[in-house]
Amino acid sequence: MSSSSNTPQVGSFPVKRGLAEMLKGGVIMDVVTPGQAKIAEDAGACAVMALERVPADIRKDGGVARMSDPDMIEGIKAAVTIPVMAKARIGHFVEAQILQALGVDFIDESEVLTPADEAHHIDKYKFTTPFVCGATNLGEALRRISEGAALIRSKGEAGTGNVVEAVRHLRSILGDIKKIGSADSAELFEWAKRLQAPLSLVQEIAETGKLPVPLFCAGGLATPADAALAMQLGAESVFVGSGIFKSDNPAARAKAIVEATTHYMDAKILAKVSAGLGAPMTGIGMDEINQRYAERGW
Amino acid sequence: MNARVLVGVLALQGAFDAHVQRLTDLGIESRLVKDVSDLEDLDGIILPGGESTTMSNLLVASGLGVGLSQRLHDGLPVFGTCAGMIMMARTIQGGRPDQISLDAMDIHVRRNGYGRQNDSFEQDISISSLDSPFHALFIRAPIIESIGKDVEVLASIDANPVLVRQAHTLASSFHPELVSDLRVHEIFLSIIHESLTTSKR
């Protein structure tokens, strides 16, 4: 896909994917104000996600959740030097056009916002800004990649402080990748059919043993141990939403989650950074919620 | 010249796996560096791309920063790409005031000098010691604003250096680890071999 040219080419797939590569081994934090963005950057976040309300509040408030006010996104962009992401509704390509015009570094086509289209995701190839999309299983991940996503994250269940769904999604995606790795060439056709995914991407996974773009974990992470769990399961970075700014001591918790993500295999460091953080967000069980965001998107 | 070498890759945050892959492609043994003890016996170290502010924080928190800085000043060959180059620079513009500078190379860099992600680009560049172009990816790349008199420019775009060398240090504002072309990593290996030859006397 790389072109040979002496003139600079912007917005190509390798350039989009390149930023996803740079975010590996890091923590991307949800922030709703410039002040929170500064706290996140101070704590070592590798990027921030600018949004109007964290998922826990969207869940509590109900109503339609939309793209954030451009003024608020500009405020956050001005407050930090690290990449700034922002969310567009599933299928809402005009919100995405606006976010690209605002110069955000990554667009999250997110199930946390209320979907704008019940059949179509955004054609992400039409944009120079890279996209991240959520997935609950490998088929969903590959459909998003075929639409041009440069980064995949588990959906998990945002705003719950409960990591169980993120673990389910990671295990499902990575488990199927392993199985495809041991499938023979004839079986790959069946895999493509079952996953409702392009055969070429299934064949690529069989060859390389991994997703064609980085795989991060999101949805319900609240503690340093949650972040390390996601990393040990095979995620390459973590998103933390409500988990930081809905806790007792956001600055300390944010820093601890950053350190846990780097040193995810070192239980001694994990024990040290987990101590004395105050209360995490309360969290809710899956049987207590009436709207599963992970079911949004197709 | 064919002595076995061990190259460390700083693995606090960022694109360290891609560097490990390139070293493996070259048949070179590598080690992820997260702790001071990981610096032992290294013949060279790569500082990868990622977020320099994040890595700076983690260098302080882990205590690795002091040890790494010492090894670099003792002459450990180092190759920094993008954020790694920022950390090597003598002075940094557009960084955070508390950001660590390892001061390993006499260059002045401006963070995100080429702009935000929408300005990120790929382009063929000419590298002085190579006989054909190298395909380079620039991701929210830093600009080298000025260089000291002992710094050699190996490649530039317009008036801005993008690949520079000073003694046993090499730095690029682009990402050779993201392409399968191994020639920039080979330049670093030759620097490591030179350093081994001179240190053996």
B residues 78-137 closer than 8 Å to A (CB): 82-83, 94-96, 111-112, 116-124, 133, 135, 137
Q: How many domains does chain B have?
A: 1
The pairs formed by B147-150 with CB atoms below 8 angstroms and a separation of 24 or more are B147/B106, B147/B107, B147/B108, B148/B90, B148/B106, B148/B107, B149/B106, B150/B106
Chain A residue closest in CA terms to B112: A81
Q: Confirm or reject contact between A78 and chain B (CB < 8 A).
A: no
Task: Give the number of other CB atoms < 10 A from CB of residue B64.
Answer: 21
> What's residue B4's pLDDT?
86
Confidence of residue A2 (pLDDT cuts 50, 70, 90): very low
Tell me: the pLDDT tens digits for A162-205?
A: 999 999 999 999 999 999 999 999 999 999 999 999 999 999 99
> What's residue A4's pLDDT?
56
Confidence of residue A287 (pLDDT cuts 50, 70, 90): confident
Q: Which sequence spans correspond to the domains of chain A?
A: 11-272
Report the distance separating Cα A6 and Cα A53, nearest Å.
44
Chain A residues inside the 8 Å CB shell of B96: 41, 81
CATH superfamily of A11-272: Aldolase class I (3.20.20.70)
Question: What predicted TM-score, i.e. pTM, was given to this entire model?
Answer: 0.96
- With respect to residue B1, please indicate whether it lies within any of the assigned structural domains: no
CATH assignment at residue B33:
3.40.50.880
> What's residue B200's pLDDT?
63
Residue A120 has pLDDT above 70, yes or no: yes
* Active-site pick, A16, A87, A155, A255: A87
Higher-confidence position of A59 and A22:
A22
Tell me: the pLDDT tens digits for B79-128?
A: 999 999 999 999 999 888 888 889 999 999 999 999 999 999 999 999 99
Tell me: the pLDDT tens digits for A29-68?
A: 999 999 999 999 999 999 999 998 888 898 888 889 999 9
> What's residue B198's pLDDT?
85
Q: State whether B140 and A19 contact (CB < 8 Å).
A: yes
**Domain ranges, residue B183:** 6-200
Chain A residue closest in CA terms to B11: A262
- With respect to residue B39, please indicate whether it lies within any of the assigned structural domains: yes
Which residue carries 């702009």 as its tokens? B115
**Complex prediction ipTM:** 0.95
Q: State whether B11 and A25 contact (CB < 8 Å).
A: yes
> What's residue A105's pLDDT?
98
Report the distance separating Cα A264 and Cα A269, nearest Å.
8
Chain A residue closest in CA terms to B57: A44
